[in-house]
Amino acid sequence: MPSSSSCCSLCAHTLACLFLAASFVSRPVAAAGQLGEEKFIGWAGDTYNPRELPSAVCAHASRAMVQVISWKPRAFVYHNFLSDLEAAHIIKTAAPQMKRSTVVGPGNKGVVDNVRTSAGTFLLDIKAPESGGETAFPHSEGWLHPEVGEPSQGPFSECAKGHVAYKPKRGDALLFYDVDPSYKNLDPASMHTGCPVIEGIKWNAVKWIHGVPFREDDYLRNLKKPPKPAPDPGDCQDMHPLCEQWAASGECTKNADYMTGGGTGQGSCRRACKDCQPCALEDKQCRAANRAKGGYLNFDANELKLFELGTSLEM
């Protein structure tokens, strides 16, 4: 749920920890003439010790494991993918940009509808609800092993019963493929639903991974010059030096999606278009009104308590 660049850096950091944990070995000294033969772990009596980690930051990786839960769809659970600190960082980074998710409406426009009540910005589970909130696959063809289902995950809600499903747990990640191994055909078994949260709050971060190049030019450009994080929508800022000029020429109505967000994005020129009110930094009521007008959520402080870390966020 942070910006894409933040999410990628967090994922890359965590993966690096996992890879370090997997490759850190205890190796005896090789006899002369054997150096060229040490090609694989175990070749010269190597031993694997996942607790011998190079940094305490990656200590949670020693508990990491990948579990295959189904082949139709191809679905895997990465247990302990995120540490508590990383999960807390995602919430802190994402909270200012959270707004209601939309569905496709008339004219291919994104519209808010009660059929979809989630809010998101960018399936890593960073806060699990007390009940409900599973990701279920209604067209699945069964568990790889029955015991990895409800018997080991705990009771499912009615929405998930009878299907391959994943019950969210903080720090875990669910990976599934929506195409077959050729990356050419959709896998019908991957059709999925997010079950309603019955009790509690669910935070998860969705990251799409493409098996074939997608918008390669954008990707290479962002590698050279990463996009800047968007400001808090409550601050009422213009994000381009020509906003006033564009507003004067009528772009606020002609190009509303870019200028004010059009009900989906933040908008680059809300201040010039008078779509928000400049506020003093300490004026929380004014900033909350700006967020609400742009479709962004205003959280209760209790909703942003960061697990057992004992801290909360103010917006």
Listed by start position, the domains of the chain span 63-230, 231-297
Please tell me the predicted confidence (pLDDT) of residue 109: 59
| pLDDT value at 110 more than 80 | no
In 62-123, DSSP assigns E strands to 65-71, 74-79, 99-100, 103-104, 110-111, 119-120
Q: Are 194 and 133 in contact (CB under 8 A)?
A: yes
How many C-beta atoms lie closer than 10 Å to residue 114's C-beta?
A: 7
| pLDDT value at 214 more than 70 | yes
H helical segments located in the chain: 4-23, 84-94, 150-153, 216-224, 243-248, 251-254, 256-259, 284-293
Please tell me the predicted confidence (pLDDT) of residue 273: 95
Taking only the tens place, the pLDDT of each residue in 296-315 is 888 776 666 654 444 444 44
Please tell me the predicted confidence (pLDDT) of residue 296: 87
Taking only the tens place, the pLDDT of each residue in 61-101 is 557 888 999 999 999 999 988 888 888 888 888 888 887 66
Q: Are 298 and 80 in contact (CB under 8 A)?
A: no
- How is domain 63-230 classified at the CATH fold level? Jelly Rolls (2.60.120)
Please tell me the predicted confidence (pLDDT) of residue 301: 66
Largest CA distance in the chain: 79
Whether cis (ω within 30° of 0) applies to the bond prior to 73 is yes
| pLDDT value at 142 more than 70 | yes
Please tell me the predicted confidence (pLDDT) of residue 43: 44
Q: Which residue reads 């697990």 in tokens?
A: 307
| pLDDT value at 171 more than 60 | yes
Please tell me the predicted confidence (pLDDT) of residue 220: 85
Length of the chain: 315
Q: Are 15 and 175 in contact (CB under 8 A)?
A: no
